[in-house]
Every structure is written in C-alpha cells, then in structure tokens.
Amino acid sequence: MTRDESRNGLDHMAQMVVTAKTSIVLNPVPAPTQERTYVTFGVERGGTSLVAGVLRALGLYLGEIPEGNNEDKSFHNKPLGQMRATINQRNAEHDVWGWKYPTAVNYLPVLSRSLRNPFFIIVFRDTVATALSRAQWDGEFIRRSGRMSLHETNANTNANMGFAMATRRPCMLISNEKAQSNTSALVDELADFLFVERPDEDLRRRILAYTEPGRYKNFDDYFSAETPAEAAETESPENGESPEEPESPQQHAPDAEESMEQVSRQ
C-alpha cells in the first residue's frame, strides 16, 4: 500500500460515524491496538462522573481516586510537565488506562501529542440544566452568577464539540440526558468502545445501582469482592442529577515556555 492509499484509508475512517441509543462515535476503528489511553471529559456538573464510574466498573484503570467523583487529581490542572511524567509512568504500568477530568479540553490540544493511541469520551449535557446545577451546588468560594454559568458552560461545550470534530482519533460523544434515561444501553456502548465484553447480569445490576442519581457512592462498596447490601453515601445533590464535584473555575494557564510550545504545535 502506498502512502497516498494509506492516507486515503485514514481519511475514510475519519469520516465514519456510528450512532447508538445514547452516543455517537466519530472515527471508529474496527479493532483495537493493544495499548490505548482513554480520556473522559465534558463540562463541570455535566455527567462525567457517571460515565467514569461505568468505565471503572468495566475494568478501565482511571488512576488513584480517593473521592466519589471518579477523578484522578494527577490530571487536575497540574503543570503540563507533571502530567506528561504521569502519562509516562502510567504507560509503563498499564497497556490500557485513562483518566477523567471535566475540563480537560483546556489542555488536551497540547497534551494529546503525549498520549499513546488516545480514545476520547466527551459527555454533553443541556447547557441550561448544567448552569442551573452549577448555580445550585457550587461552593460559596466559586459562586457564579446565572449569566456567568451559562457563558462558561456554553463556551466549554463549544470547545468540546470543536475538539471532537477536529480530532482524527476515535471519539465517543455521549448525551447525558440519553444516558440518564437508558443507562443500561450506555453501559453496553461504553463496553464496545473499550473493546471489552458487555457485563453479565450481576455486574450490570451493580453498575445500575451504583449509577442511580442523587448521592455519591463508594465505588468499592459496589465492585469489591464482597459487596455490602447498602453502600456508604456522602452528601450530594438530591434532585435526581448525577453527582459532580464542584471544581475551581481556574483553568490551567501555561507559562511562557508552554505557550510557545502550544503555538509551535498548532
């Protein structure tokens, strides 16, 4: 196969779209490479914790997670050099792994070049619902006006869609509303995107119990070897929404050297 033929094949794959009950997959691949990195992101209070919880239940390593939002602090607006070091370490330890950070789109255009065979999972939620949730559940130290919440959510959503349309890598776009109403279908679609078997009846039951909206739940209470009858719960929204931990609005601001690197890579 010539280089032009190979490039034409990639262009054809990049134009493919697979639709399902809760998601759309752009740039799908028929078979996985042995080594892959999955990055899950979306917007703050937009449903990424639910998706990340399902990914963990299906066996994907998402890092060291001490809290109920399924988020590895190693990718929580850390300096780019530090995140690259973490990526190198995880690559050495795991063939397939990933992380979840709602606003990862702020650093992915630079960091994605350091990823090994990246697969992206982007969760989309209704902008007004997200802004209302942020206004209701944000801590006082990051309280936003309704107008600011709408502006930030809309800007982040547009950035996520722009990233999805620009990348040539496999990219799964999930509707939070569809996922909430048909979580069992979401589980199957995520399993397919991970190239793992769909869960049996027992695991599916535990996943659906774990992802019921309303409160944070302890992951190990549902997926450890011995699952207690009742899960330990921590305070969180009680309005039927999937929980998302409030996060600092401060975005990663690269230093001058990092800014020059970003320009040079574009």
Q: To which residue do tokens 């939070």 refer?
A: 176
Whether residue 260 is predicted with pLDDT greater than 80 in this model: the reply is: no
Nearest to 170 by CA among 10, 14, 6: 14
Question: If you count DSSP H runs as helices and E runs as strands, how many of each does the chain have, helices first?
Answer: 11, 8
Q: How confident is the model at residue 15 (pLDDT cuts 50, 70, 90)?
A: low
Mind listing the pLDDT tens digit for each residue in 18-33?
999 999 999 999 999 9
For residues 79 and 8, what is the distance between their CA atoms, to the nearest angstrom? 37
Mind listing the pLDDT tens digit for each residue in 58-75?
999 999 887 778 999 999
- Helix (H/G/I), strand (E/B), else coil: 108: helix
Whether residue 10 is predicted with pLDDT greater than 90 in this model: the reply is: no
Top-confidence residue, 216 or 239: 216
- The residue-averaged pLDDT of 172-185 equals 96
| Residue 41 near residue 102, CB atoms below 8 Å | yes
For residues 247 and 102, what is the distance between their CA atoms, to the nearest angstrom? 9
Instruction: State the average pLDDT for the chain.
Output: 81
Whether residue 7 is predicted with pLDDT greater than 70 in this model: the reply is: no
Tokens representing 241?
């929404």
Top-confidence residue, 12 or 20: 20
- The residue-averaged pLDDT of 103-117 equals 94
For residues 95 and 63, what is the distance between their CA atoms, to the nearest angstrom? 13
Which residue blocks in 138-255 are alpha helix, DSSP H?
146-166, 176-181, 183-194, 201-210, 219-223
Domains of the chain in start order, with CATH, are 13-265 (3.40.50.300)
Whether residue 88 is predicted with pLDDT greater than 60 in this model: the reply is: yes
- Helix (H/G/I), strand (E/B), else coil: 236: coil
- The residue-averaged pLDDT of 29-53 equals 93
- Residue 75 buriedness (CB in 10 A; 0-12 / 13-18 / 19+): buried
- The residue-averaged pLDDT of 1-19 equals 58
Q: Are strands 23-26 and 36-41 parallel, antiparallel or unpaired?
A: unpaired
Whether residue 253 is predicted with pLDDT greater than 80 in this model: the reply is: no
Tokens representing 192?
């397919």
pLDDT on residue 233:
39
Whether residue 256 is predicted with pLDDT greater than 80 in this model: the reply is: no
pLDDT on residue 257:
39
Q: What is the phi/psi pair of residue 17, to 5°?
A: -140, 135
Nearest to 238 by CA among 258, 255, 216, 215: 215
pLDDT on residue 234:
39
Stretch among 62-76, 77-91, 138-152 having the lowest mean pLDDT: 138-152
Stretch among 32-36, 141-145, 205-209, 244-248 having the lowest mean pLDDT: 244-248
Percent of the chain with pLDDT over 70: 75
- Helix (H/G/I), strand (E/B), else coil: 25: strand
Q: Are strands 17-19 and 23-26 parallel, antiparallel or unpaired?
A: antiparallel
For residues 203 and 207, what is the distance between their CA atoms, to the nearest angstrom? 6
pLDDT on residue 92:
97
Whether residue 1 is predicted with pLDDT greater than 50 in this model: the reply is: no
Whether residue 239 is predicted with pLDDT greater than 60 in this model: the reply is: no
For residues 92 and 77, what is the distance between their CA atoms, to the nearest angstrom? 22
Nearest to 24 by CA among 95, 94, 124: 124
Q: How confident is the model at residue 90 (pLDDT cuts 50, 70, 90)?
A: very high
